[in-house]
Copies of this chain bind each other. A is one copy, B any other.
């Protein structure tokens, strides 16, 4: 098993906490920064919090007496071999030999966290933590050895110095200037040239009176003091000029600053706030428009990758499970940043008891499970599965308790069945798409139960999963329609066929090859089936077509759809795009003039499609121990790029006559077609017949293949 995700060795100390606690509290902070026209706009589901009392421990074998510095967020005590030091010591001396160190911390306001730094005694993810460390006291007053405490490995990130307190974490920010400023009488319209995010800074502000900042993703929005989604109000009362930075970061390209006659202002700039993640994946090709689409997708994704993977930077700024699920997939082809995936997964899940679906949405609960399935496949990180397994189980218990009498998932009070923003989409009865996601979630549980060594559960989940797979086809497959129908109402198939369950059944491999071809014609390429208008579901639709080898078609779709937004001047991709709309009508949504997000994570899906289905790289065993490269030009003359893995990047170049590969971790199989026997100096082909060839790609090696 690949262990590259373990970031700290025993010699480098880092701040540690109960896994998920830092993440949940940080998500509370982040999500509560949403405002609507300056009014605080929190989530409408249960927000969880950290455990306020925490015990940390680890046993060390110390070669020589050592001095250990202790830094703590909270009130605390320190014990060595069960005996407490007086007070709350900042430094202790530990004698040579085997010793157990316990630090118990209480913190009501912030996450209990410790940083311990000695020569060998250092805090890292190998420490164990518990929020209910039971100590057993018998009638003689002695603490007995019987313990029923549940210990788990500590959580950590990259707080590697004692002064870098987890509770003080903020994203970095850098100064950024406006591209142009239109000054009016008592107003200023500022353009930052493209969609951006951060804190507006007012320079040389002085005088007395009111000032308003109206934010716009479009110029129209910034100019609409009445209808713009975000604004700030400032009471100015400065005899001498000052520079004032707004308290909350916001999303915009334009800002429209308006102020009373008594106020004067020199200029407006901003602090660009960003997540410090590294771009490892890349893609360039012979088509300039596709290159532009890739770059704007990359920037869209950069903006939406913050403390967590969020849905869109302007309006919600929340973590939505269905949106995050797509971000995870894009992440595997751009950043391969495990920390943001884990953090988002913890934040979405919150804590027990489960009192509702994730984000209140049934499908979003299932996408949470699917995200873990993919995380494991791409990273091979069994530690996280083990750490998170209990939360998976209790969430699945919640789901299982909500099945109807036929064992299917149907709307119950408290549920929101989302699927997609699409006019007239029925949520009545038992919807096929929900059953499909449920089946896949059960498969995920069976997989993770295996990793967590919960043997009884493996059997149980496998039986449940197989049963759901069977039911999916028994109940929804319609031979005449050659498709899964949308739903069953009162025990009867409805007439409606939608794309959702059908396209997922393709890349989940739930259909047999014949069904796949049937569905391609009867659903995917059938204009009579209701069209998808959100990039959210376009993601899966195009993935299904790619999985069927329709890269040429999909490339054209990408150029039409994403290229369409670019032609309208988009500098980031949108929440929804309907080519039929005109002008500022594109900006409306949810019944509001500027309700639509013009920078939505789910708009960045070309990152994923180009990496997975054009460069053609995907893991087939956890953590890229095994993977395939099946490059497909889809009509391009050439393309090249990198796909990150847990250990290094896989590099792919392909033209109409040459394929060049550099392997990274694990063992890959290059799959390609050639009219005649290809040539290479680097390895041996396997001829799979019908012009299909395979080449084994070994760790770190370079290959150059000539084909035709």
- The answer to whether B414 touches A40, judged by C-beta atoms less than 8 angstroms apart, is no
- Tell me, rounded to whole Å, the shortest Cβ–Cβ distance linking A522 to chain B: 25
Check if A701 is an interface residue, CB within 8 A of chain B. Answer: no
- The answer to whether A414 touches B39, judged by C-beta atoms less than 8 angstroms apart, is no
Q: Which of A136-180 contact B (CB under 8 A)?
A: 136-137, 139-142, 146, 148
Provide the residues of chain B in CB contact with A47, threshold 8 Å. 51-53, 106, 131
Of the candidate stretches A220-228, A546-554, A577-585, A590-598, the one touching chain B is: A590-598
14 new A-B contacts at CB < 8 Å, known A47-B51, A139-B424: A28-B52, A28-B106, A32-B106, A39-B84, A47-B131, A49-B49, A132-B355, A134-B360, A134-B414, A136-B416, A137-B416, A140-B590, A141-B592, A353-B394
Provide the residues of chain B in CB contact with A424, threshold 8 Å. 139
Check if A372 is an interface residue, CB within 8 A of chain B. Answer: no
Provide the residues of chain B in CB contact with A353, threshold 8 Å. 352-353, 394
- The answer to whether A39 touches B77, judged by C-beta atoms less than 8 angstroms apart, is yes
- Tell me, rounded to whole Å, the shortest Cβ–Cβ distance linking A656 to chain B: 45
- Tell me, rounded to whole Å, the shortest Cβ–Cβ distance linking A556 to chain B: 29
Give the B-binding residues of A (Cβ under 8 A).
25, 28-29, 32, 36-53, 75-77, 84-88, 104, 106, 108-110, 131-137, 139-142, 146, 148, 233, 352-353, 355-356, 360, 394, 413-416, 421-425, 589-592, 595
- The answer to whether A356 touches B132, judged by C-beta atoms less than 8 angstroms apart, is yes
- The answer to whether B148 touches A413, judged by C-beta atoms less than 8 angstroms apart, is yes
Partner of A29, one of B108, B136, B139, B590: B108
In the complex where A44-B134, A413-B148, A595-B141 touch, is A28 in contact with B84 (Cβ < 8 A)? Answer: no
- Tell me, rounded to whole Å, the shortest Cβ–Cβ distance linking A33 to chain B: 10
Q: What are 29 contact pairs spanning A and B, CB under 8 A? A: A28-B53, A28-B106, A28-B108, A32-B53, A32-B75, A38-B86, A40-B76, A40-B106, A41-B77, A42-B106, A44-B134, A45-B132, A45-B134, A46-B51, A46-B132, A47-B106, A47-B131, A49-B49, A49-B52, A87-B233, A109-B109, A132-B356, A134-B356, A136-B416, A139-B422, A139-B425, A140-B590, A352-B352, A352-B353
**Identity of the chain B residue whose Cβ is nearest the Cβ of A88 in the assembled complex:** B40
Cα A353 to Cα B390 in complex, Å, equals: 13
Provide the residues of chain B in CB contact with A394, threshold 8 Å. 353
Provide the residues of chain B in CB contact with A133, threshold 8 Å. 44
Cα A656 to Cα B37 in complex, Å, equals: 79
**Identity of the chain B residue whose Cβ is nearest the Cβ of A414 in the assembled complex:** B148
In the complex where A49-B108, A353-B353 touch, is A44 in contact with B135 (Cβ < 8 A)? Answer: yes
- Tell me, rounded to whole Å, the shortest Cβ–Cβ distance linking A111 to chain B: 10
Provide the residues of chain B in CB contact with A137, threshold 8 Å. 416
- The answer to whether B425 touches A75, judged by C-beta atoms less than 8 angstroms apart, is no
Cα A175 to Cα B86 in complex, Å, equals: 29
- Tell me, rounded to whole Å, the shortest Cβ–Cβ distance linking A129 to chain B: 13
**Identity of the chain B residue whose Cβ is nearest the Cβ of A423 in the assembled complex:** B139
- The answer to whether A139 touches B421, judged by C-beta atoms less than 8 angstroms apart, is yes
- The answer to whether B106 touches A109, judged by C-beta atoms less than 8 angstroms apart, is no
Provide the residues of chain B in CB contact with A44, threshold 8 Å. 133-135
- Tell me, rounded to whole Å, the shortest Cβ–Cβ distance linking A588 to chain B: 10
**Identity of the chain B residue whose Cβ is nearest the Cβ of A355 in the assembled complex:** B132
Provide the residues of chain B in CB contact with A109, threshold 8 Å. 108-110
Provide the residues of chain B in CB contact with A84, threshold 8 Å. 36, 39, 41
- Tell me, rounded to whole Å, the shortest Cβ–Cβ distance linking A314 to chain B: 15
Provide the residues of chain B in CB contact with A140, threshold 8 Å. 590-591
- The answer to whether A42 touches B53, judged by C-beta atoms less than 8 angstroms apart, is yes
Cα A423 to Cα B413 in complex, Å, equals: 55
Cα A47 to Cα B132 in complex, Å, equals: 8
Provide the residues of chain B in CB contact with A52, threshold 8 Å. 28, 47-49
Provide the residues of chain B in CB contact with A43, threshold 8 Å. 53
- The answer to whether B39 touches A87, judged by C-beta atoms less than 8 angstroms apart, is yes
Cα A422 to Cα B413 in complex, Å, equals: 52
- The answer to whether B108 touches A590, judged by C-beta atoms less than 8 angstroms apart, is no
Provide the residues of chain B in CB contact with A32, threshold 8 Å. 53, 75, 106
Cα A512 to Cα B17 in complex, Å, equals: 57
- The answer to whether A141 touches B38, judged by C-beta atoms less than 8 angstroms apart, is no
Cα A139 to Cα B86 in complex, Å, equals: 61
- The answer to whether B86 touches A590, judged by C-beta atoms less than 8 angstroms apart, is no
- Tell me, rounded to whole Å, the shortest Cβ–Cβ distance linking A283 to chain B: 34
Partner of A46, one of B42, B131, B360: B131
Provide the residues of chain B in CB contact with A46, threshold 8 Å. 51, 53, 131-132
Partner of A589, one of B36, B85, B141, B592: B141
Cα A537 to Cα B561 in complex, Å, equals: 78
In the complex where A43-B53, A85-B39 touch, is A108 in contact with B591 (Cβ < 8 A)? Answer: no
Partner of A87, one of B38, B75, B356: B38
Provide the residues of chain B in CB contact with A425, threshold 8 Å. 139
- The answer to whether B25 touches A108, judged by C-beta atoms less than 8 angstroms apart, is yes
- The answer to whether A590 touches B141, judged by C-beta atoms less than 8 angstroms apart, is yes
Provide the residues of chain B in CB contact with A42, threshold 8 Å. 53, 77, 104, 106
Cα A204 to Cα B146 in complex, Å, equals: 50
Provide the residues of chain B in CB contact with A40, threshold 8 Å. 75-77, 88, 104, 106
* Nearest 6 A/B pairs, CB to CB: A141-B590, A148-B414, A109-B109, A148-B413, A47-B53, A46-B132
- The answer to whether B591 touches A141, judged by C-beta atoms less than 8 angstroms apart, is yes
- Tell me, rounded to whole Å, the shortest Cβ–Cβ distance linking A180 to chain B: 30
Cα A48 to Cα B595 in complex, Å, equals: 39
- Tell me, rounded to whole Å, the shortest Cβ–Cβ distance linking A87 to chain B: 5
Cα A388 to Cα B86 in complex, Å, equals: 40
Provide the residues of chain B in CB contact with A29, threshold 8 Å. 108
Provide the residues of chain B in CB contact with A88, threshold 8 Å. 39-40
Cα A85 to Cα B35 in complex, Å, equals: 12
Provide the residues of chain B in CB contact with A108, threshold 8 Å. 25, 28-29, 49, 109
**Identity of the chain B residue whose Cβ is nearest the Cβ of A46 in the assembled complex:** B132
Provide the residues of chain B in CB contact with A356, threshold 8 Å. 132, 134
Provide the residues of chain B in CB contact with A134, threshold 8 Å. 44-45, 356, 360, 414
